[in-house]
């Protein structure tokens, strides 16, 4: 775990929402979020925006792990199970990497390893010097 990763520590929104970095390596990342009352919606389940933020944080870390700045150009999430307590984990893996475009899959799970959401994203990789 490297909570001092400079890319992660500059992400004010991830810090505000309580997301913690577990690991990051080339094309991969894992983060977690301990569910608190601030993450719950009016149904008493984790808000979809909180789950999306968790997945998006793993996506951002994985896509920027190669040293080339990358910005999301597409993201899609499917919520497959509600969560109410415990800790959620998001693990991003690189599906494809090209000079300008890269794609990633992120799986969000709970403490029991049950799938909570499936996220897919694409980034534009900025040309160095531009």
Domain ranges of the chain: 6-125
C-alpha span between 59 and 123 (Å, rounded): 9
Residues in the chain, overall count: 130
Distances (CA, A) of 74 to 52, 86, 103, 120: 13, 29, 9, 8
- In this prediction, residue 126 carries a pLDDT of 92
- In this prediction, residue 129 carries a pLDDT of 57
- In this prediction, residue 3 carries a pLDDT of 55
For domain 6-125, give the fold: Thiol Ester Dehydrase; Chain A (3.10.129)
- In this prediction, residue 128 carries a pLDDT of 66
Determine which helix (DSSP H) or strand (DSSP E) holds 56, and give its type and residue range: helix 48-63
- In this prediction, residue 2 carries a pLDDT of 53
C-alpha span between 64 and 84 (Å, rounded): 31
Q: What is the pTM of this model?
A: 0.93
Strands (E), the chain: 19-25, 28-34, 70-79, 87-97, 101-109, 115-125
Instruction: Identify whether the C-beta of residue 106 lies closer than 8 Å to the C-beta of residue 90.
Output: yes
| Residue numbers in the chain where pLDDT is lower than 50 | 1
Distances (CA, A) of 18 to 9, 31, 54, 65: 12, 10, 9, 21
**Where do we find the tokens 């983060």?**
31
């Amino acid at each position: 775990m490297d909570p001092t990763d400079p890319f992660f520590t500059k992400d004010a929104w991830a810090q505000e929402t309580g997301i913690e970095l577990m690991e990051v390596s080339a094309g991969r990342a894992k983060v977690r979020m301990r569910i608190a009352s601030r993450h719950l919606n009016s149904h008493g389940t984790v808000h979809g925006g909180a789950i999306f933020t968790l997945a998006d944080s793993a996506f951002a870390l994985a896509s920027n792990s190669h040293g080339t700045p990358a910005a999301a150009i597409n993201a899609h999430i499917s919520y497959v199970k509600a969560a109410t307590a415990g800790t959620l984990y998001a693990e991003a893996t690189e599906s494809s990497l090209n000079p300008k475009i890269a794609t990633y899959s992120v799986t969000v799970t709970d403490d029991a390893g049950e799938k909570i959401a499936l996220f897919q994203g694409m980034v534009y990789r900025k040309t160095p010097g531009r």
